[in-house]
Amino acid sequence: MNLSGKTFWITGAASGMGKSLAIELSKFASLLILTDRDTDGLDKTASVVSANGVKVRKEVLDMSDSEAIVSVSRRILDDGIRIDGLYQFAGISQRSLVLDTPVENDRKIMEINFFGVITLVKAVLPSMIANGGGQIAVTSSMVGKFGFPYRSAYSASKHALHGFFESLLAENSKNNILVSVLIPGRVQTNISKYALDRDGKEYGKMDPGQANGISAEKAARQIVRGLQREKKEIPVGGSELLMVQIRRFFPALYYKLATRIKPV
């Protein structure tokens, strides 16, 4: 896909990979639509990309609020904006055992990571089809390919994205809709800090493995290369991504390794 002169909508744009991708895409795009619930972070991202000469539209948006997602989408589309790419990064993780995790936490994680994501896609997809096509990228995870201790609901929400977007692609390839599922491993973002603990509060720490991961800036460059090549799955990270292949080709070894994960 040629990214030059296009309009891209990026969720989770206030920090992490969303912010870094916005900065990277500001080298190509004519307009960036940036959304996040973090107003201050959103302003900072908008300021950086504006300095690169790209036009910016920012909207405060909480991905747990389906009505707000539909409302913001309608407002943008009613202004006659053609969305060439929709790239979603907003999400929430967890750090708690299945036995300790109340269903309320499971529902909150699914609401943001799955239902919020597909609500936005359903709001934007008809206009993309009417305009002759577009590109959709959604952020899964390495644990969207297999289960992992202390991330049961998070892993489940990411598994769900694979099923949904593979179905969407099968139905809409004839409509020139491109779909890429991003599979990050260890990337230096704040997702573990804001993960839910057993009490539904912020975990408040960065995991050691994540702290030693690639930078969000490097992740953004990997993502852009994958988007340009129209890859259906885009691995993002370093050597830890080998775990995906271990799970696929050596499942017995994966199960052995997974049971050795130390408690959070």
By annotation, the residues acting in catalysis are: 154
**Partners of 58 in the β-ladder:** 34
For residue 107, how many other CB atoms are within 10 A of its CB?
A: 12
203, burial (CB in 10 Å: exposed 0-12, middle 13-18, buried 19+): buried
Cα Dmax for the chain: 54
CA–CA separation, 110 and 194 (whole Å): 15
Measured between its terminal Cα atoms, the distance across the chain in Å is: 41
